[in-house]
Chain A
């Protein structure tokens, strides 16, 4: 990369969820800066401003195809910006199964895919999927590994009895309990067929399936918690970052001394260390559970027949990782599984033997160096190959500075003056403060 100040490439990195993506985004920023780039980290609230008015040599997005087409198209038609989705490499929770792979709306899908220069993928498994899906050119796809999983692939967790650590429950009631206290009608409206059919719910399904699934999951969760209360089994609940934490007061009051709620402050990898086992519904956290060696319990079978008949639970469909987890037929089976931990009769290596190879294939592991460096290599390589012209350096610097000032001003008003509560997905980008607080976690992504 060019190193003179005026000709340094400007790169924008999107941080979708603070507690999950900041660590990776900040680590990638550090690596790219050491290679001579000027890098800006942005949250999703600042992203539209940067995309619309900023000038960057490259924009690194996680989950690029969830970004509205207007922004993508606007950016891609300008001559100075490369779109490089680090799909999978920068953490995202969308899978790559063919039937879901960016099948949102065929016209939008193809247009979106065309705007993106490179998709950095977790592993060859993803590449094979996308090639067979037929929407992508091979030239767009690069296997770079998954920084998100690096940590767990290197270090597994010690098994701990359920009498010592609580049972973890991963929740994902993002439409029943949306963050920012959205009106539920707005939530329903936002899942209209014209926007998400074929993406969030199947092409032949309806948006009500999404809500049915979450209501059914809540029903199972309450049954599970009733039983935990009866058996004095402690439970640590992890709400989804896109949920309203305040609503969980209900569970705290209903199950005093049994349920505790983990605030969004904790990354999933750290959270896994705080629980003896994890019960979840079709969560992408299943990858981490398997990779870390924690006991995983899939609650999907308890959803009954409609759960599999009417609702395609997307993340269970992407890869068969969930099949490696314990599959209870009734609530009591969950406690039978926990008992295995108490008597020391549970072996992660044995339990996950069948799915672990698959997880490695998904995540391109083992590898000789951190995935983050591979992502950075690909970005640098793509920029070097680029023949696109850039804006005059001083104009670009001025525009990006103005964008930053505007975004900071809005954040100051919203979070400091109006005092809107921050969530993991709705947060100010106080980069220096977060770096001070989370340096250990950011540095982890560049460890050998």
Chain B
């Protein structure tokens, strides 16, 4: 698929998902708190007076809001086309504290519409692994980061059972099985999941044993632990036209090629109200046995520094 067409299709998928995020308080809260000075291991006033750009801000602009909340002087939210403004502008306009501290631009991470050394901090979360040329994207990010400035890059790591299930098997099914494709696009919802759980519960054979009680409790808990935020996470993994994964070694080689002088990996533990709550510790402790088994390399979050 040509790079432009890939960008267009990816944007279309995520525009839909991001607009649903905005209607889902759990998603909004989670995405707006992914970055903290604590997990970046920087001083608490690190973002004050920083001119930032959120590359691939999306229609919900949660990264942009996150940076504004952390005190950034000005944040430029960048997205491929101007469709994101319709949903993001009212969100940013609604908060008086952000007034005069943000702007919206259109452009691609593969060809950033900024001069060299423009920003103190570049945020690029969950974008590069959807592009046709991640190396070029990294080089562009390095180019617009001022000497000594920083970037935060988030991409998906490879390996692990859960990763291979969502980003391998289910994506293959989505691309090759018209029935599954239609199901994901049109029918997968919280209500659908709850209906299926109800069906299982109604047909559970009651033999009076304690295990029957346990099974019922598990189904009840599952019913409560599947929410819209979780469904949107599933759609994110499956519907994106491209979802590359990397090893830490591959990624760090790309950083060096792009021109970054140093980097370090950071981890975070997002807040979930759904089934992912059980696993969130594994996102933080990515070297734990269970984390390696389920998620392989895990989510790769790196703080990079441009050459001074």
Give the B-binding residues of A (Cβ under 8 A): 155-158, 160-161, 163-166, 232, 234, 260, 270, 273-275, 292-293, 438-441, 444, 447
Q: Is the CB of A160 within 8 A of B90?
A: no
A164 to B104, CA, bound (A): 11
B269 close to A (CB within 8 Å): no
Q: Is the CB of A165 within 8 A of B103?
A: yes
Against A, the Cβ 8 Å flags (1 = close, 0 = not) of B55-94 are 0000000000000000001101000000000000110011
Of all A-B residue pairs in the complex, the 6 with the closest CB atoms, nearest first, are A163-B115, A157-B100, A155-B99, A158-B74, A440-B90, A274-B103
Which residues from chain B contact A275 at a C-beta distance below 8 Å?
103
Q: How far is the CB of B115 from chain A (nearest CB, A)?
A: 4
Against A, the Cβ 8 Å flags (1 = close, 0 = not) of B189-202 are 00000000000000
Q: Is the CB of A274 within 8 A of B118?
A: no
B101 close to A (CB within 8 Å): yes
Q: Quick one: closest B residue to A292, CB to CB?
A: B100
Which residues from chain A contact B102 at a C-beta distance below 8 Å?
273
Give the A-binding residues of B (Cβ under 8 A): 51, 53, 73-74, 76, 89-90, 93-94, 96, 99-106, 113-115, 117-119
Which residues from chain B contact A270 at a C-beta distance below 8 Å?
89, 93
CB-CB under 8 A for A441 and B51, given A164-B114, A234-B113, A274-B103: no
Q: Is the CB of A156 within 8 A of B100?
A: yes
CB-CB under 8 A for A165 and B113, given A155-B96, A440-B90: no
Interface centre among A166, A274, A293, A438 (most CB of B within 10 A): A274
Cβ contact of A274, chosen from B90, B104, B113, B119, cutoff 8 A: B104
Interface of B is mostly: mixed
Q: Is the CB of A273 within 8 A of B103?
A: yes
Which residues from chain B contact A232 at a C-beta distance below 8 Å?
115
Which residues from chain A contact B51 at a C-beta distance below 8 Å?
160-161, 164
CB-CB under 8 A for A158 and B114, given A270-B89, A273-B100, A440-B90: no
A163 to B102, CA, bound (A): 15
Give me 12 other A-B pairs in contact (C-beta within 8 A), A164-B76, A260-B106 excluded: A155-B99, A157-B100, A160-B51, A163-B115, A164-B115, A164-B118, A165-B76, A165-B103, A273-B102, A438-B90, A439-B90, A441-B93
Q: Is the CB of A440 within 8 A of B94?
A: yes
Which residues from chain B contact A440 at a C-beta distance below 8 Å?
90, 93-94
Which residues from chain B contact A161 at a C-beta distance below 8 Å?
51, 118
Which residues from chain A contact B76 at a C-beta distance below 8 Å?
160, 164-165
Q: Quick one: closest A residue to B100, CB to CB?
A: A157
Q: How far is the CB of A114 from chain B (nearest CB, A)?
A: 42
CB-CB under 8 A for A165 and B96, given A158-B73, A160-B51: no
Interface of A is mostly: loop
Which residues from chain B contact A292 at a C-beta distance below 8 Å?
100
Q: How far is the CB of B306 from chain A (nearest CB, A)?
A: 15
Which residues from chain A contact B53 at a C-beta distance below 8 Å?
164
A181 to B275, CA, bound (A): 58
A440 to B93, CA, bound (A): 7
Q: Quick one: closest B residue to A441, CB to CB?
A: B93
**Complex A-B: 10 CB contacts under 8 Å:** A158-B73, A158-B74, A160-B74, A163-B114, A163-B115, A163-B117, A164-B53, A164-B118, A164-B119, A273-B102
A441 to B105, CA, bound (A): 21
A155 to B92, CA, bound (A): 14
Q: How far is the CB of B77 from chain A (nearest CB, A)?
A: 11
Which residues from chain B contact A156 at a C-beta distance below 8 Å?
100
Q: Quick one: closest B residue to A275, CB to CB?
A: B103
Which residues from chain A contact B117 at a C-beta distance below 8 Å?
163
A444 to B89, CA, bound (A): 14
A95 to B103, CA, bound (A): 31
CB-CB under 8 A for A158 and B100, given A164-B119, A165-B105: yes
Q: How far is the CB of A405 from chain B (nearest CB, A)?
A: 31
A161 to B96, CA, bound (A): 23
A314 to B89, CA, bound (A): 34
A157 to B104, CA, bound (A): 14
Which residues from chain B contact A293 at a C-beta distance below 8 Å?
100
A157 to B105, CA, bound (A): 16
A165 to B77, CA, bound (A): 11
Q: How far is the CB of B164 from chain A (nearest CB, A)?
A: 41
Q: Is the CB of B100 within 8 A of A155?
A: yes
Q: How far is the CB of A270 from chain B (nearest CB, A)?
A: 7
Q: Quick one: closest A residue to B49, CB to CB?
A: A158
A161 to B53, CA, bound (A): 13
Q: How far is the CB of B232 from chain A (nearest CB, A)?
A: 23
A158 to B53, CA, bound (A): 14
Q: Quick one: closest B residue to A158, CB to CB?
A: B74
CB-CB under 8 A for A158 and B104, given A163-B118, A164-B118, A270-B93: no
Which residues from chain A contact B90 at a C-beta distance below 8 Å?
438-440
Q: How far is the CB of A296 from chain B (nearest CB, A)?
A: 15
Q: How far is the CB of B200 from chain A (nearest CB, A)?
A: 40
Q: How far is the CB of B234 from chain A (nearest CB, A)?
A: 30
Q: How far is the CB of B76 from chain A (nearest CB, A)?
A: 6
